[in-house]
A and B are shown apart, each in its own frame.
Chain A
Amino acid sequence: MIDVLFFAELQEAAGKANMTIDAAGITVSDLKTNYLNELAIENIDQAMVAINEEYAEEDSIIKSGDVIAFIPPVSGG
């Protein structure tokens, strides 16, 4: 199982803050294309991705139990 978190405008676009996906050993890119496509989240490709709270690449492999966060461009401060 993979936990997925959405923030800010992506959270509003997804209609939820988080979801759990029954998958493992997929890439970040697979996650977006094959598991999140039905949510049709605009701008998800502009978001950075963090795996277990560290920024990750599109081809990073996600393991079962990982927490994946989609991080739209930040605007703190």
Chain B
Amino acid sequence: MDKHFWITDQRIDINDCISKVTRAEAGAVNTFIGTVREFTKGKRTLYLEYQAYASMAEKKLTQIGEEIAAKWENTETAIVHRVGRLEISDVAVVIAVSTPHRNDAFEASRYAIERIKEIVPIWKKEHWEDGSLWIGDQKEKISYKKGVPVEEDMRND
């Protein structure tokens, strides 16, 4: 499979993502790995469930790769996001960016994760000891439910 931007319901192979961007012109490969966190502001997560509109999500991940290529010269980007049930410490997302020099690789991978949180149709359902909820806008422009969970629980930085 030669896709650089994809959704999977399988455990993510980090090296597979990295190898897609490794090349002779690159002096830097920056890898961002997003994992499932157990505690958020003291509240314990048991597991997460991710859902995606997979076909559109792959298009939007591809668009992010194109945006990166336009903003930073000579980049190669690969992004994979997992869906389904994920346990604590499982890898949810991997972003690999290669560039000739390190600074662009750092900046571009930061850009990629922020854009994922804006435009890619993927959703996370938190399962806590005392309930569950689809998490809304992580950038906090919209608060879905007043009170429960408290606003800090909605954050995902």
Contacts and interface: CB of A to CB of B under 8 A. Distances in A.
A50 B56 CA distance: 9
B136 A75 contact: yes
| Category for how many chain A residues contact B | 10 to 19
Interface string A32-76: 000000000001001000100101000000000000010111111
A75 B121 contact: no
A69 B81 contact: no
Interface in B17-72: 34, 50-53, 55-57, 59
A12 B34 CA distance: 26
A13 B45 CA distance: 23
A59 B137 CA distance: 23
Contacts of B116: 76-77
B34 A7 contact: no
Do most interface residues of chain B lie in helix, strand or loop, or is the interface mixed?
mixed
Contacts of B134: 8-9, 12, 72, 75
Interface string B104-146: 0000000001001111111111000000011111100110100
Nearest to B154: A75
Contact of A77 (B55, B56, B113, B133): B113
B123 A8 contact: yes
A71 B121 contact: yes
B156 interface: yes
A53 B34 contact: no
Contact of A76 (B59, B124, B133, B144): B124
B97 interface: no
B122 A74 contact: yes
B56 A73 contact: no
A75 B118 contact: no
Nearest to B112: A77
Given A7-B123, A76-B52, 19 more contacts: A8-B51, A8-B123, A50-B56, A53-B55, A69-B56, A72-B123, A72-B134, A73-B137, A73-B142, A74-B117, A74-B119, A75-B138, A76-B81, A76-B116, A76-B120, A76-B124, A77-B116, A77-B117, A77-B122
